[in-house]
Every structure is written in structure tokens, then in C-alpha cells.
Amino acid sequence: MFFRNLIWMSMALSAGAQTMMNGRASLVLGGKAAGVVVDLGGGSIVEFQFQDQRLNPLTWTSGESAPAHPMGHFLCLDRWGAPSEAESRNGMPFHGEASHVTWKIVRDAQRAGRAIRAELAATLPLAGFDVVRRVELSEDAALLQVSESITNTNKLGRVYNMVQHPSIASPFLDESTVVDANGRKGFIAQNLEKNADADTERPRETPVLHDDSLVSGILRRCKAVRTARGHRPQKSALSK
């Protein structure tokens, strides 16, 4: 732990640079308040934590054997979800290529005022996209700003999906963790049913509302929130 803290202290002093973290090429940004690690094998943001707490929410990994694979907070591009069978046979991965290709640092981390800025890029050969990502970490606060621009290198225009996919895990995530988001209604992605008119799958319409929480596989009601808002959620087969 002492050696790990020394690494972070040196990175904070040098603002940031490509280095090896856990045996993987990464971009490391270190401010006085927080530190960020972007894994170049897929471009995932795999660490974002306070310098004085060392509790990283973004420890999730897909567990894939390929060098580039989704972890932590990753980008879904040019799609969210599974490819068709034909696309899969031709090499298109789940959630698109962005988290399955190697990213490169095109502008190393530099201080600009009270912020640390860097720029990364990736090429998606099957989708025909070039992606540029600009990251800016505040020197004095746990604030990371990320902007991404996409260039279509195909000869024709095309429709695509672009989704940010944060994935939190333990030890940050446990039964007491509360995630505050501006979304009110969602669904459990594993709950799929066949469409009546086609051999395709779609999410079930059973709602997971903002005052529900999934604990040990059981959907439990947060009565205090429901009462305060005067809202009565629909019953679910998972409700208890």
C-alpha cells in the first residue's frame, strides 16, 4: 500500500503521463484532490477516487481474455447491446468496438490553469469511426470533465448509438450504496422476452422505478422515498 501511494504521489507531481498500472498501459492523471486512470486497452476509465480515501468505485471488469475489453466506465460505440449473428461472425463485439480496441495518447497530460488536460484517440475499423476524447481533471476538486467527438470515415452517413456505460462494483458497491441519478425509470437488462411478431428479444416492461433497489437479487421498496413523493409504484414479480 505504501508503494502504491508513492506511485500516486509522483503522478500528482508530474500531472500525468502514460504508465503501467497493474501491468496495463494507462493514462494517469493526479490532482491534489483526486486521481484518474484511463486504461488504454479499451479506453475505459478504471479509477476515479479521492487521493485521501483510496476507494475506487470503478473496479468492475468484463473478465474477457482479450487485451482490450470493457472495464469500469466505458464507451459503447457504434452500438449499445449485442450485434446481429452476421455482425458477430464478422468480428463486431458486444457494445461495439470502442471498448475493444487500443487507444493512444495524442496529447500528454499538461496543466492548464487549475486543471490537468489530456487527449486520447481510437479508430473503430468495422464501424468506420475515429474517436477523440478530451479529459480535464480539476487540480483542487474531484471533478473530471470528458468530451468526445466522432468522425465518420465512411463514404456514406449512417445511424449509430453512443452510450456512456458506468459500471460500479465492490468494495464501493454493497447493499448500503445509494446511486443518485436523474433517470426515473429503467429496466433489468437480463429480463428479456420474445416479441410476439418477431424472433427478437426486447426488455420486459416491468418498471424499476427510482424508489426501488435491487438487494441480493430481490427488488425491495424504499418506503421512505415512496411516501415522501406520494408515489405508489406498480407491483413487480420481483417485489417483496
- How do the pLDDT tens digits run along the chain, 240 residues long? 333 443 343 343 345 567 899 999 999 999 999 999 999 999 999 999 999 998 999 999 999 999 999 999 999 999 999 999 999 999 999 999 999 999 999 999 999 999 999 999 999 999 999 999 999 999 999 999 999 999 999 999 999 999 999 999 999 998 888 888 777 777 666 655 544 445 555 555 556 655 555 554 454 444 333 333 343 433 333 333
> What integer pLDDT is reported at residue 175 of this predicted model?
85
Residue 54 and residue 114 in one domain: yes
The residue with cell 470493457 is: 70
Strands (E), 167-211: 185-186, 192-194, 201-203, 208-209
Last residue of a domain, one of 132, 153, 177: 177
- Considering the domain architecture, whether residues 29 and 18 belong to the same structural domain is answered as yes
Kindly state whether residues 224 and 114 are assigned to the same domain: no
In terms of domains, do 122 and 192 share one?
no
Region for residue 216 given its phi and psi (left: phi exceeds 0; alpha: psi -120 to 50; beta: otherwise): left
Q: Identify whether residues 11 and 48 lie together within a single domain.
A: yes
Q: Are residues 186 and 166 in the same domain?
A: no
Between strands 201-203 and 192-194, the pairing is: antiparallel
Please give the pLDDT value at position 1.
Answer: 38
**Greatest Cα pair distance in the chain:** 60
- What CA–CA distance (Å, rounded) separates 35 from 48? 6
pLDDT at 227 (0 to 100): 33
pLDDT value, residue 50:
96
**Final residue belonging to a domain, choices 131, 151, 177:** 177
CATH number of the structural domain spanning residue 97: 2.70.98.10
| Residues 169 and 198 occupy one common structural domain | no
Same domain as 188, residue 126: no
56 and 102 in one domain? yes
Q: What is the pLDDT of residue 202?
A: 56
Q: Which triple of cell numbers denotes residue 95?
A: 457494445
**Same domain, residue pair 154 and 203:** no
Residue 170's pLDDT is: 93
- How far from 80 is each of 74, 98, 138, 196, CA to CA, in Å? 11, 11, 30, 23
Cell representation of residue 111: 496543466
> H helices within 35-133, ranges in order?
85-89
How far is 74 from 43, CA to CA, in rounded Å? 7
Query: What does the alpha-carbon distance between residue 40 and residue 103 come to, in Å, rounded to a whole number?
Result: 5
- Note whether 188 and 170 are same-domain residues: no
How many domains are there within the chain? 2
Look at residue 6 and give its three-state secondary structure.
Answer: helix
Nearest Cα to Cα of residue 22 among 164, 3, 105: 3
Note down the domain range covering 144: 2-177
Neighbours of 123 (CB within 10 A): 16
pLDDT of residue 234: 38
Cβ neighbours of residue 3 closer than 8 Å, sequence gap 6 or more: none
Are both 31 and 115 inside the same structural domain? yes
In whole angstroms, give the CA distance from residue 78 to residue 198.
Answer: 24
Q: Where is the domain boundary, 160, 177, 194?
A: 177
